[in-house]
Amino acid sequence: MEIIGIVAIAKNYAIGKDGKLPWHYSADLKFFKKTTLNHAIVMGYNTWASIGKPLPKRLNIVMSRSHELEHQPRVILMRDKQEVLALNKYLGCDLFIIGGSQTYQTFAENIDKWIVTEIPETVEDADAFMSKDFLEGFNLEEMTELEDDLKVKTYVKDVQNFHP
C-alpha cells in the first residue's frame, strides 16, 4: 500500500483560493473520485471545512492539532503525522494526501507517488500554492489526458537518487 499525493495544480503552482479550488472541471472531480474511492484520504482541517462533509466510500482522515469534529461515520480526527502513519500500517488500502498545501508539506518525505492534474490556467489571486520543487526526487511514470485539456501525470519516487 502506498502513500500518494494527489493534487490539481495551475500553471503558477496555485492549488487554492479563499479555501476552495479556484476552478471547476468535472473531468478532474470525476478522476479524483474514481482514483480515491475505497481508499483512505488525509486532509487538513481547512480542506475538510471547504468540502463540508465526508467523501463517500472513503475513510476521511482530518488532521488538526486544535479543532474538534463531531462524531460521524468514516471520519477520523488525527493530531499529527505520526498518528496517521501508525494507522496506515493497518489500513489495507492506499493513503491519499489530498491537501491543502500544509498537509502536502507535512507528508512530503513519506509520499511514494504523486498524481498531478495540470490545470491549463494561471490563477493570479490564488492564496494556496505547491512549492515549486515538490516533484524533486520523482520521475514521470505516466501521462493521461482528460477532457478540457487537462493532463494527469503520475510521478514515482526515484529511490536510487532520493535524499530526504
- The domain total for the chain is 1
Domain contains 60: yes
Write a three-state SS string for 58-121.
Answer: CEEEEECCCCCCCCCCCEEEECCHHHHHHHHCCCCCCEEEEECHHHHHHHHHHCCEEEEEECCC
What pLDDT, on the 0 to 100 scale, is given for residue 164? 54
What pLDDT, on the 0 to 100 scale, is given for residue 162? 52
Domain containing 71 equals: 3-157
More confident residue, 141 or 159: 141
Domain contains 86: yes
pTM: 0.94
Inform me whether the pLDDT recorded for 19 exceeds 80. yes
Average of pLDDT values for 120-138? 96
Q: Is 152 exposed, middle or buried (0-12, 13-18, 19+ CB in 10 A)?
A: buried
List the CATH number of the domain containing 51: 3.40.430.10
Domain contains 162: no
Average of pLDDT values for 120-126? 96
Domain contains 103: yes
β-strand 113-118 against 3-9: which pairing, if any? Answer: parallel
